[in-house]
């Protein structure tokens, strides 16, 4: 079965590239292909201009950081960090110097002799990062390394990893299904769908200028409504045929507001009339699910509105991401 198709990616030296997509899209298979655990049927993989496609993992100049960290439970922190160097025949002095450097870099001073079984999840993550960097790999590969940490620790480690990335310029490919993580960490993001890269761009471009309705929805603009653009440029809500350009508009719930008053529509706004069918309190206001004849969407409001109330969902035209409707069929 073909998992990946026509994938082309370039990663600049010192750049962190995130492979972003839902489960089964091919991102981990792509990472494992780079690492040497999966052999592609065609194409090539090059690191610093060297073709490594047919080389075993240990000869590729890459290092893999697994989701489970794969630390040796019977070893100390220092033993885990220096393990790869020891297997490659490095001297004890060289290993000790490198371990000390990495303990300082990862803010693990004083932990050298501690068993890894006595560490927190965040500390184990730092040990795994240090071990991956011990041999100075040309390319560091990370497979969802923060997925098993709690939210607060993930946020702290994201900021720490981004600062480290900027400071020492690690070249890395990072797999994640978390769009917030990809936006926070990456210099560029490759969005995968069904084994293909559907957009490869900066976080800002991926978020604000998605290349397709799929990317827009995956990046959080999952509200969708069918529109018609008339010859004069006017946008109107319609699901039927007509004399105009048939479009689908995607928008994020935080760009829309719910209006329970009878205010008059303003130019440059899309208005959907419906009723509130679900209410969620989100701390700084409420999030409402609104059903109308034209769409089922989510939007925000600062005030509390009762379920069943008739409302209008108002979206500025500049918050709409427009795509040809035919391109979103199915």
pLDDT 10s digits, 62-98: 888 877 777 888 889 998 898 888 888 888 899 999 9
* Distances from the Cα of 127 to the Cα of 16, 29, 148, 241, angstroms: 20, 25, 15, 60
* Distances from the Cα of 239 to the Cα of 79, 102, 210, 227, 275, angstroms: 64, 59, 23, 7, 19
pLDDT at 328: 41
Choose between 133 and 240: higher pLDDT: 133
What CATH class is the domain 221-328? mainly beta
Contact 198, 212 (CB under 8 A): yes
Contact 176, 28 (CB under 8 A): no
pLDDT at 243 over 80: no
Taking residue 105's Cβ as centre, other Cβ atoms within 10 Å add up to 16
Helix (DSSP H) and strand (DSSP E) numbers for the chain: 8, 17
Q: Domain 16-215 belongs to what architecture? A: 3-Layer(aba) Sandwich (3.40)
pLDDT 10s digits, 96-107: 999 998 999 888
Choose between 169 and 322: higher pLDDT: 322
Distance between CA atoms of 59 and 177, rounded to whole angstroms? 29
Q: Residue 302 burial (CB < 10 Å; 0-12/13-18/19+)?
A: exposed
* Distances from the Cα of 313 to the Cα of 140, 237, 257, angstroms: 46, 13, 6
**Structure tokens belonging to residue 55:** 């080389």
pLDDT 10s digits, 35-62: 999 989 899 999 988 999 999 998 898 8
Closest CA to 193 of 310, 25, 76, 57: 25
pLDDT at 329: 43
pLDDT at 262: 64
Domain chopping of the chain, boundaries:
16-215, 221-328
Task: State the DSSP code for 298.
Answer: E
pLDDT, the chain, mean? 88
pLDDT 10s digits, 156-200: 888 888 888 888 888 999 999 999 999 999 999 999 999 999 999
Task: State phi, psi for 155 to the nearest 5 degrees.
Answer: -60, -45
């Amino acid at each position: 079965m073909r998992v990946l198709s026509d994938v082309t990616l370039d990663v600049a030296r010192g750049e962190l590239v995130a492979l972003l997509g839902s489960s089964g899209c091919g991102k981990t298979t792509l990472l494992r292909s780079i690492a040497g655990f999966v052999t592609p049927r065609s194409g090539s993989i090059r690191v610093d201009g060297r073709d490594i496609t047919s080389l075993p993992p240990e000869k590729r100049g890459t290092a893999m950081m697994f989701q489970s960290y794969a630390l040796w439970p019977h070893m100390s922190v220092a033993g885990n960090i220096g393990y790869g160097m020891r297997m490659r025949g490095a001297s004890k002095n060289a290993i000790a110097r490198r371990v000390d450097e990495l303990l300082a870099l990862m803010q693990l001073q004083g932990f050298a002799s501690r068993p890894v079984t006595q560490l927190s999840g965040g500390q184990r993550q730092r040990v795994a990062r240090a071990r991956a960097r011990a041999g100075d790999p040309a390319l560091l590969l990370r497979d969802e390394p923060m997925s098993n940490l709690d939210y607060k620790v993930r946020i702290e480690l994201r900021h720490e990893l981004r600062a480290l990335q900027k400071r020492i310029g690690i070249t890395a490919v990072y797999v994640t299904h978390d769009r917030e993580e990809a936006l926070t960490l990456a210099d560029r993001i490759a969005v995968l769908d069904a084994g293909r890269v559907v957009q490869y761009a900066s976080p800002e471009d991926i978020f604000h200028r998605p290349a397709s309705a799929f990317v827009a929805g995956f990046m959080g603009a999952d509200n969708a409504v069918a529109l018609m653009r008339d010859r004069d440029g006017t946008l109107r809500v319609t699901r039927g045929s007509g004399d105009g350009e048939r479009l689908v508009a995607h928008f994020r719930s935080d760009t829309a507001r719910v209006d329970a008053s009878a205010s008059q529509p303003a130019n440059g706004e899309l208005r959907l009339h419906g009723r509130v069918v679900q209410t969620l309190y989100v701390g700084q206001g409420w999030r409402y699910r609104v059903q109308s004849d034209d769409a089922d969407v989510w939007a925000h409001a600062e005030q509390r509105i009762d379920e069943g109330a008739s409302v209008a969902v108002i979206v500025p035209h500049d918050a709409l991401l427009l795509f040809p409707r035919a391109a979103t069929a199915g």
